[in-house]
Amino acid sequence: MVAALFGTFAVALILGVPVGISLGLASAVYLFMADIDLAVVSQFMFAGMDSFVLLCIPGFVLAGNLMNGGGITDQIVRFGNCLVGHIRGGLGLANVTGSMIFAGISGTAVAETASIGSVMIPAMRKSGYDAPFAAAVTAAASTVGPIIPPSVPMIIVGTLTGLSVGKMFLAGAIPGLLLGLGMMLTVWILARRRGYPKGTWVGFRELLRSSRGAFWALLMTAIILFGIIGGYFTPTEASIVAALYAFVIGLFVYKGFRLSDLPGIMLESAIGSGGLILLVGLANVFGWILTSEQIPQAIAAAMLSVTTNKYIIILLINILLLIVGTFMETIAALIILFPPLLAVATQVGIDPIHFATFAVLNLMIGLTTPPVGVCLFVAANIAKISLGAITRAVWPFLVCNILILFLVSFVPAISLWLPNLLLD
């Protein structure tokens, strides 16, 4: 029956069925073969979705859509270009810088690829960059989004495990910055080797003028973090504050949308959020089946039978997640694998917050690895190039990101220093 469970799930994914529906179909097949009442589907779906923390998701998704609809993307790109555009490969550097700033708004990599890519990829091509490089930079840089807070994957991890979402937000800040800086270094090295163009220094006055536009986006991240750290509101309440803030800024400061546009933005946010929450509910059914079949215990026993050395376990977990990330969607992989791997990690003395940080970072890299690298598909579509072309161009960034991953994995202080300083 376990073979039928995983077989149905794999076939559904290969056929292009959405991940959430694939989980539900696989669970239904298992329950039917095991002669278990299908009523457990609704029970465990409700149990999985009945979480106060999950309310963060629609709040942050709405905030991101309001800020993006308000014209924030153009302001961020302009600021990034003024800041680093005069350096060799400046537009590539501005692309990464824009993604780092946009990360504090969206919390999702795909939204970041679409928003930043729609502006930066055409601009980079017009300035003399080849299309595969422009698309690869955009796709790779977007993986910063779910690491720098707010982060939808970290919200889901908190829902699954009861870990503090506030601590995980803080734990992702420094790794996210390292990831961004590492990709900027990669862009600069490639730009010098390939002779990519550089712009002209616009002067401090123009830099100051452009920073005013990006200021409101940076302030949003600051409000979220300091509100949670100061105990003024929970992460769920922070998402509502962020949505209200984004509404006011987008409507009255950026003036990028009108009140008549609001129903469309809210509908788009509801559809996106509903899909994620449905995925969590169906994955909870799938997770219950795995637990009843003692699959998590089997994974833990298999790993611990190889070694109990903490550092080798970290290496094994990273290798497993890197492989899984090449063919499984991020949220589904987290829901299925995170609980059993967390049990292994805690048994060998790995801090749960540290583990959550490098696990999320690891699976974010999967968004730019074929064959199921969602961000690759989005960026390639914008650039009008083949998946093969962007795959060849993205390898330098994947190497950089994996090096940062192992640095974060084997140096716990990188992720734990900030939450221990501010929340303990």
> What are the start-end ranges of the H helices in 70-151?
72-84, 90-106, 109-126, 131-141
Between CA 81 and CA 101 the distance in angstroms is 13
List, in order, residues 6 or more apart from 323 with CB less than 8 Å away. none
Q: How many CB atoms lie within 10 A of CB 126?
A: 10
Looking at residue 372, its pLDDT comes to 65
Between CA 176 and CA 149 the distance in angstroms is 9
Burial of 177 (0-12, 13-18, 19+ CB in 10 A): middle
Looking at residue 424, its pLDDT comes to 64
330-347 and 310-325 helices cross at what angle (nearest 10)?
A: 170
Give the torsion sign (CA, 109, 113, 119, 124). positive
Between CA 375 and CA 28 the distance in angstroms is 30
Mean pLDDT of residues grouped by 10 in the chain (424 residues)?
Answer: 80 75 84 81 78 74 75 73 78 83 68 76 84 91 82 80 84 91 93 83 78 76 76 79 84 80 85 76 79 75 84 91 78 79 89 93 84 78 85 92 95 92 76
- What count of Cα atoms within 13 Å lies in the side-chain half-sphere of residue 107? 29
Looking at residue 53, its pLDDT comes to 66
Backbone angles phi, psi at 156, to 5 degrees: -65, -40
Three-state secondary structure call for residue 41 = helix
DSSP 225-242: HHHHHTTSS-HHHHHHHH
Looking at residue 274, its pLDDT comes to 79
Looking at residue 189, its pLDDT comes to 93
352-365 and 310-325 helices cross at what angle (nearest 10)?
A: 30
Three-state secondary structure call for residue 371 = coil
Are 338 and 160 spatial neighbours (Cβ–Cβ below 8 Å)?
Answer: yes
Helices then strands, counting H and E runs in the chain, come out as 20, 0
Looking at residue 399, its pLDDT comes to 93
Looking at residue 179, its pLDDT comes to 92
Looking at residue 107, its pLDDT comes to 59
Radius of gyration for the alpha carbons in the chain, expressed in angstroms and rounded: 21
